[in-house]
Amino acid sequence: MLSALWTPKDILTKVEKNNQNAIAITDNNAGYGLLEFYEKAGDIKPILWVDINFSYDGKNMMNIVLLAKTYEGYQNLIKLISIANTDNFKTVPYIDFDNLKKYSKDLIALSWWNWEIEKLIVWNEKDELILDKISEYEEIFNWEFYLEFLTYDYDLFWERQKIEKNFLKYHNENAKKIVVSSNYKYINKEDKATYDVLLCIKNNWKYGEEWRPKVVQDYHIMTEEEVKNALWKNGIEENIQQELIQTTHKISDSINCEVPLHQLLFPKYVVPDKYEKLYEKVVS
Would you state the pLDDT for residue 92?
Answer: 87
Domains of the chain are: 8-184+221-283 (3.20.20.140), 186-220 (no CATH)
Distance CA 39, CA 48 (A): 12
Would you state the pLDDT for residue 248?
Answer: 96
Q: Can you give the length of the chain in residues? A: 284
Query: pLDDT (tens digit, 9 = 90+) per residue, 63-122?
Result: 899 999 999 999 999 999 999 999 877 788 999 999 999 999 999 999 987 678 998 999
Q: Which of 129, 112, 111 is nearest to 120 (CA)?
A: 129
Mean pLDDT of 54-59: 86
CA angle 146, 29, 219 (to 5 degrees): 65
Query: pLDDT (tens digit, 9 = 90+) per residue, 24-55?
Result: 988 889 988 899 999 999 999 999 989 999 99
Report percent pLDDT > 70 for the chain.
99
Would you state the pLDDT for residue 59?
Answer: 82
Cβ(231)–Cβ(149) under 8 Å? yes
Report percent pLDDT > 90 for the chain.
77
Residue 9: alpha-carbon gap to chain centroid? 20
Would you state the pLDDT for residue 131?
Answer: 96
Tell whether the model's pLDDT for residue 4 goes beyond 90.
Answer: no
Tell whether the model's pLDDT for residue 245 goes beyond 80.
Answer: yes
Band (174; pLDDT cuts 50, 70, 90): very high
The letter for the amino acid at 190 is: E
CA angle 68, 69, 72 (to 5 degrees): 75
The letter for the amino acid at 111 is: S
The SS3 of residue 195 is: helix
Distance CA 226, CA 182 (A): 10
Would you state the pLDDT for residue 72?
Answer: 97
Q: Which of 204, 222, 215 is nearest to 17 (CA)?
A: 222
Would you state the pLDDT for residue 167?
Answer: 97
Which residues contact residue 219 at a Cβ distance below 8 angstroms, ignoring those fewer than 6 apart? 183, 184, 185, 186, 192, 195
Q: Which of 81, 24, 14 is nearest to 223 (CA)?
A: 14
